Amino acid sequence: MQENTSRIRRLYDWVLSWANSPYGALALFVLAFAESSFFPIPPDILLIALAISARRRAFYFAAICSVGSLAGGMFGYLIGYQFWTLAGDFFFQYIPGFTRHRFADVQALYDLHGFLIVFTAGFTFIPYKIFTVSSGVFGLNFGGFVLASAIGRAARFFLVAGLIWRFGAPIKEFIDRYFNLLAFLFAVLLIAGFVLIKFFI
């Protein structure tokens, strides 16, 4: 556990280092894009650091983060869509328990509640990247996916920016002081997110 926390801390510090770079805003966009498809560290960390360094631009950074995350989410959707088109039959033939009936059940769940599923993943710490790819796999209406992602991601990042604009540096000081506890809670939330996914699927 201690080793994993140290790794997360190093990655956290590396992400924060971009806040002191002239390319901080670009790094925020890239981080938000990557986190929507594969990167494990949420862009909120860099968003907080940048917003603290220039509180008057907090909502500008939130906009960059939102656009980057939405673009990454659309890329994740494309990955899922293309991957399933190319490799879907392989799973039905060679993965035990993975049947067309089970796939159809999950797809029906997406058809009924896809907007709410994507919005919830976008706003909370449920792994958003899994749902961007899954939305492509299950052929969720792309317009609905984009709208749900845009609302969920923007609501989250503008909420973070609003807290920084209102309270400033104490937010970062709180994170630094209680990093180990927050890292543990993040891991718990991440595991809970996967359990929730398994529950629905």
Task: Tell me the per-residue pLDDT of 34-73, one tens digit each, with 9 for 90 and over.
Answer: 998 877 778 888 888 888 878 888 999 999 999 999 999 9
Instruction: Tell which wins on pLDDT, 76 or 99.
Output: 76
Residue 153 pLDDT exceeds 90:
yes
pLDDT of residue 94: 44
pLDDT of residue 2: 45
What's the rounded mean pLDDT across residues 9-34?
79
pLDDT of residue 160: 85
Per-residue pLDDT band at 102 (split at 50, 70, 90): low
pLDDT of residue 117: 86
Average pLDDT in the chain: 77
Determine the Cα–Cα distance for residues 168 and 45; give it in Å rounded to an integer: 14
Backbone phi and psi for residue 141, each to the nearest 5 degrees, phi listed first: -50, 120
Q: Are 139 and 23 in contact (CB under 8 A)?
A: no
Percent of the chain with pLDDT over 90: 21
Q: Which of 145, 137, 35 is nearest to 80 (CA)?
A: 137
Q: What is the CA radius of gyration of the chain?
A: 18
Global pTM value: 0.74
Instruction: Tell which wins on pLDDT, 107 or 144.
Output: 144
What's the rounded mean pLDDT across residues 127-155?
89
Per-residue pLDDT band at 168 (split at 50, 70, 90): confident
What are the structure tokens assigned to 139, written together? 């052929």
Determine the Cα–Cα distance for residues 159 and 165; give it in Å rounded to an integer: 10
What's the angle, vertex CA 106, arms to CA 66 and CA 88, rounded to 5?
A: 90
Determine the Cα–Cα distance for residues 126 and 196; give it in Å rounded to an integer: 9
Q: Are 51 and 57 in contact (CB under 8 A)?
A: yes
Per-residue pLDDT band at 146 (split at 50, 70, 90): very high
Burial label, 73 (beta-carbon count in 10 A; 0-12, 13-18, 19+): buried
